[in-house]
Structure 1
């Protein structure tokens, strides 16, 4: 899967992660989309390293699950970091 495929996958995974983890994001929709893209890439590479899954196919269920999981984790970390900074 090329760079454009990862971007599209990340945008969709970020939107799904936002729907799963509702609430106000400190950065808005642009930051949420970027978190989705980065989370999808991180989730894909971590999944490949840990489980040996093939992340090169766009329509694979494991690729989507890893991308969404990576986006959820990164979104949660982002909210923790920016939430603490806003209250400090």
Structure 2
């Protein structure tokens, strides 16, 4: 069941990251999900290192880290994907 939640979280985080980035990202949905999962894992690690992974309420800082890292990953991979397709 945790595998399913990882895919759902990766989809949500990846789509939010694409919304944050300006312009169009020519990557498929499956790659958005994979990069969202990567952003979620790296964001959790960064939040743990910063000591803000588990707070009393909603972990907004952790979510900002997750979406931010996913946005960086998407911004890095999008031009590579577009160049590969050309």
Structure 2-normalised TM-score?
A: 0.71
Distance 1:30 1:7, change over 3 A: closer
Q: State whether residues 55 and 62 of structure 1, in contact with CA within 8 Å, keep that contact through their aligned partners in structure 2.
A: no
The size of the alignment, in residue pairs, is 84
Matches of 1:53 and 1:72 in 2, distance apart? 20
How far did residue 54 of structure 1 move?
Answer: 1.7
4+ aligned runs moved over 6 Å, structure 1: none
Unaligned runs of 5+ in 1: none
How far did residue 29 of structure 1 move?
Answer: 0.9
Match of 1:23 in 2: 24
Distance 1:38 1:56, change over 3 A: farther
Q: State whether residues 14 and 68 of structure 1, in contact with CA within 8 Å, keep that contact through their aligned partners in structure 2.
A: yes
Structure 1-normalised TM-score?
A: 0.70
Alignment RMSD (CA, Å): 2.9
Unaligned runs of 5+ in 2: none
